[in-house]
């Protein structure tokens, strides 16, 4: 149980993709640590991550190597396919912000219908939210878009 918000730790839904070897403990309990570029993190993921680093590390569990971009760089990366809202599939990166601008956007992973795995300061550990959960918060109310990296 999260001491900050009372939410339960992430337990992957049975409909979710499961990485070879299963879900490591850090994927459920890594603490949020913001303020660092995702490529600058030298500490092990178990020591904490921001939203981008968390999403990229989870994708690596599935053999998808993602450049350590900030959200605006991620959005502009031509090696990733831009995906429309109605075409989002499991393991696509989804970006949310106050506006439709990618600069400073929050990054999560679409895992199953209406289930987005992400790491944010508000919760402090990984959480699963619905589209409506993001839309109900001003800082995440705008869906910027989705990006797909293939293995």
Domains contained in the chain, CATH given: 26-148 (3.90.1720.10)
pLDDT tens by residue, 109-135: 999 999 999 999 999 999 999 999 999
SS3 content of the chain, % helix, strand, coil (to 5): 25, 25, 55
pLDDT tier at 38, thresholds 50, 70, 90: low
pLDDT tens by residue, 69-78: 999 999 999 9
In whole angstroms, give the CA distance from residue 146 to residue 8: 26
* Ranges 6-15, 63-72, 101-110, most confident: 101-110
Q: pLDDT at position 148, please?
A: 97
Cα-based torsion angle of the residue sequence 102, 52, 96, 15 in order, rounded to the nearest 10 degrees:
140
Q: pLDDT at position 151, please?
A: 86
**Spatial contact of 135 and 46, defined as CB atoms under 8 Å apart:** no
Residue 59's closest CA among 133, 111, 125?
A: 111
The CA-atom distances, in angstroms, between 120 and each of 20, 76, 95 are 25, 22, 13
Q: Average pLDDT, stretch 31-45?
A: 76
Q: Count CA atoms closer than 13 A to 92's CA, side-chain side.
A: 22
Which of the two residues, 4 and 7, has the higher pLDDT score?
A: 7
pLDDT tier at 16, thresholds 50, 70, 90: confident
**Spatial contact of 94 and 80, defined as CB atoms under 8 Å apart:** no
Residue 118's closest CA among 135, 132, 134?
A: 134
Question: 93: which strand partners?
Answer: 109, 147
Q: Average pLDDT, stretch 36-48?
A: 75
Q: pLDDT at position 128, please?
A: 94
Q: pLDDT at position 28, please?
A: 92
pLDDT > 70 in the chain, percent? 86
pLDDT mean across residues, the chain? 87
Q: Which secondary-structure segment (H or E) carries 93?
A: strand 92-97
């Amino acid at each position: 149980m999260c001491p900050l918000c009372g939410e339960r730790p992430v337990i992957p839904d049975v409909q979710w993709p499961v990485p070879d070897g299963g879900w490591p403990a850090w994927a459920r309990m890594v603490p949020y640590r913001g303020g660092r570029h995702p490529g600058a993190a030298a500490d092990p993921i178990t020591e904490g991550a921001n939203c981008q680093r968390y999403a990229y590390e989870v994708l690596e569990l599935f053999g998808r190597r993602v450049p350590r971009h900030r959200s605006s760089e991620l959005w502009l990366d031509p090696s990733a396919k831009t995906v429309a809202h109605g075409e989002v599939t499991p393991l696509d990166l989804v970006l949310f912000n106050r506006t439709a601008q990618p600069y400073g956007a929050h990054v999560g992973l679409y895992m199953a219908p209406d289930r987005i795995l992400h790491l944010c300061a508000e919760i402090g550990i990984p959480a699963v939210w619905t589209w409506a959960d993001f839309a109900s918060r001003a800082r995440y109310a705008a869906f910027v878009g989705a990006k797909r990296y293939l293995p």
